[in-house]
Amino acid sequence: MAPTMMIQGASDQVRQLLQQLLTADLPVTCVVVPERAEEAPTYQPLVVASALCARLTVRLGTAADYGQAQWLVLLDQPHAERPLTEQLAILRRLTSRVLENGFQGQFIFAGDQDQVFTYFAWKFSGIARERVWGLGTAPLGQLLTARLAERLAVSPGSVRTTVIGQASEPIVAWSRTYVGPIPILMYLANADGRVSADDLSQMETWLQREATGSLTTLRLVSLISLLRRLLAHQAPIISVTHPQAVKPVLAASSPVLVTPQGLRGLTDLSLAEGEQQAYQQQLARIQDTIAALTAAQTEGK
């Protein structure tokens, strides 16, 4: 029996994801819960088109479907222009409704600022950390992998990049990036003329520039790629946003094992000195944001 994946968020993003899923034809049942009743007819053409898929099913659902879902994919909210405090109030109500209806699957945040929503969904719900995560820097890691593989004229499967932090400010951990079994920094020493330290610096600048634009389409493509692996019972090691094992707890992207049942932690991430400093500075900024949002919610009571 195909697993159930529920999808919620802004209707344009939901439709975009469903269109890509129809093409991918993954063995999954996609259940859409419209934010408003008047949105339901806009999904009907996609429901009809799914009849031509050999494995994918698309249908509209209700709160009763939460109890059967393995994944709840949350895209950007229809009210993404609202202050974060208001969006978090909506998220609190959603997590309560989801859990009240028997949801025992995984929350997957596939929109902007997932470091904020991942943390507060975990905080509001009280569920295990391994069941709440966001795509984080994973799409940017895939993008860098493709760019680096093209430059080195090797298969993307031969390259393993590590991009950490948050999607809006990705930190490339070159010290944890490999070409085959060889660290990329040692690969530079071979001086084969394909890539230099300056090239790596330019790639990092390029990636950070791409991160300032819209990542919606990249996220959706990356999500489908990840789902394909999970549905094939594979467990990739990638950097996704998850509640970190630090005090106080915050959410950021770092490498974990992503399995169909949830996340599994790895050993502590070892970084070069400059990378570690940049990562700690970013974690401090995320913590400041969380503290400010927590205080704002308390003041609003």
Task: Give per-residue pLDDT as tens, 102-142.
Answer: 999 999 999 999 999 999 999 999 999 999 999 999 999 99
For residue 159, the SS3 value is strand
Tracing tokens 């001086």 back to the chain, one arrives at: 191
First to last CA, the chain: 45
Per-residue pLDDT tens for 12-64?
Answer: 999 999 999 999 999 999 999 888 888 999 999 999 999 999 999 999 999 99
For residue 27, whether the previous peptide bond is cis, meaning omega lies within 30 degrees of 0, is no
What global pTM score does this model have?
0.94
Per-residue pLDDT at 212 exceeds 70? yes
Distance separating alpha carbons of residues 17 and 223, to the nearest angstrom: 9
Backbone angles phi, psi at 179, to 5 degrees: -115, 110
Tracing tokens 């992207």 back to the chain, one arrives at: 253
For residue 182, the SS3 value is strand
Q: Are 170 and 211 in contact (CB under 8 A)?
A: yes
For residue 71, the SS3 value is strand
Distances (CA, A) of 220 to 40, 226, 284: 21, 10, 29
The pLDDT of residue 203: 94
How many Cα atoms are found within 13 Å in the side-chain-facing hemisphere of 35?
Answer: 17
Per-residue pLDDT tens for 149-208?
Answer: 998 889 999 999 999 999 999 999 999 999 988 889 887 776 566 788 888 999 999 999
Distance separating alpha carbons of residues 71 and 7, to the nearest angstrom: 8
Closest CA to 149 of 141, 159, 139, 140: 159
Distance separating alpha carbons of residues 50 and 46, to the nearest angstrom: 6
For residue 155, the SS3 value is coil
For residue 26, the SS3 value is coil
Per-residue pLDDT tens for 86-109?
Answer: 999 999 999 999 999 999 999 999
Other CB atoms within a 10 A radius of the CB of residue 193 amount to 6
